[in-house]
Amino acid sequence: MKSVLAPAVTMEGSQPQAHGLRAQAVRIAAARGLSLFAWFVPALATGPRPTVVLLHGWCGNASNLLPAAQALHQAGFAVLLMESRNHGRSDCDDHSSLPRFAEDLESAIDWLKTLARVDPTRIVALGHSVGAAAVLLSASRRQDLAAVVSIAAFAHPEQLMRRWFALRYVPYWPLAWLINRSLERVIGASFDDIAPVNTVTRVTCPVLLVHGRQDSVVPVADAYRISKRGNELNVTLIECDGTHEAFEDVDRITRSILDFIESAVCARSAMVPRTLSPIRFTVAKSATALC
């Protein structure tokens, strides 16, 4: 049981300066009196700006998403790269889980909303793997996110664990089934309640799902299951060549993600009365619409 819920902590990876980012190392108050480590990269423009919070996957850390942070920052966003408890430089706890990833994400979002350089009405959450499932869970129970981007999320924890046990030759019935029920008691939530295939139906902001066709950890069929359950007006699915950790045409996928986030942020701007000057999003030498 302990091994299932205990990620291998690693702090390996590059630093923000290697990606041209001037980041501030911060600590964020979290549940149970713990604190989370994060890098905050203010937008280049002054005043409250649209912000994207990035959440890594299981056994990951903030360094994993630095390339995404670089692209987002160049496009005009402020960025927060956070680390969930038991990961990277964040405090340790007795276990990690999807609900705790989401809880940590919400602590980070609430912290961002206190900053003068962050527009609290234009915050986007982007997550990878378990982090992707967490952004959907968080968005399903709060109304203040402008959009969420879910990269390589699994559809349901039951099937995810079933695949995990199969790789270790553990029979599903009755042993793995009983372990799953025990896991539900430990994390304090039923798998059905936290499954992305179910939480996506309760998300009211725009959702982007991105998944690699060659993903051997979470099959692309999971993305189709989540998309099918989501509101057709709010859920967009991008299927592309790539694995669980990397996509082949990174530039194209990055541009698609930026286009989605920009559109969602502009839509949110139109909904909220504003007195601030608009933001111009740029990537490399190209400029997109004002909002």
Strand 118-128 to 49-55 pairing = parallel
Q: Which tokens go with 70? A: 């670089």
How far apart, in whole angstroms, are the C-alpha atoms of residue 202 and residue 136? 9
Q: Is the pTM of this model over 0.75?
A: yes
Distances (CA, A) of 119 to 16, 74, 78, 95, 188: 23, 18, 10, 33, 33
Per DSSP, the chain holds a count of helices (H) and strands (E) of 10, 10
- In single-letter form, the type of residue at position 178 comes to L
Beta strands in the chain (DSSP E): 24-29, 35-41, 49-55, 78-82, 118-128, 145-151, 207-212, 235-240, 280-283, 286-290
How far apart, in whole angstroms, are the C-alpha atoms of residue 235 and residue 7? 30
Q: Where are the domains of the chain?
A: 2-272+279-290
pLDDT in 10s for each residue of the chain, 291 residues: 545 787 888 888 999 999 999 999 999 999 999 999 999 999 999 999 999 999 999 999 999 999 999 999 999 999 999 999 999 999 999 999 999 999 999 999 999 999 999 999 999 999 999 999 999 999 999 999 999 999 999 999 999 999 999 999 999 999 999 999 999 999 999 999 999 999 999 999 999 999 999 999 999 999 999 999 987 778 999 999 999 999 999 999 999 999 999 999 999 887 765 433 333 333 333 333 336
Domain 2-272+279-290 is of which CATH architecture? 3-Layer(aba) Sandwich (3.40)
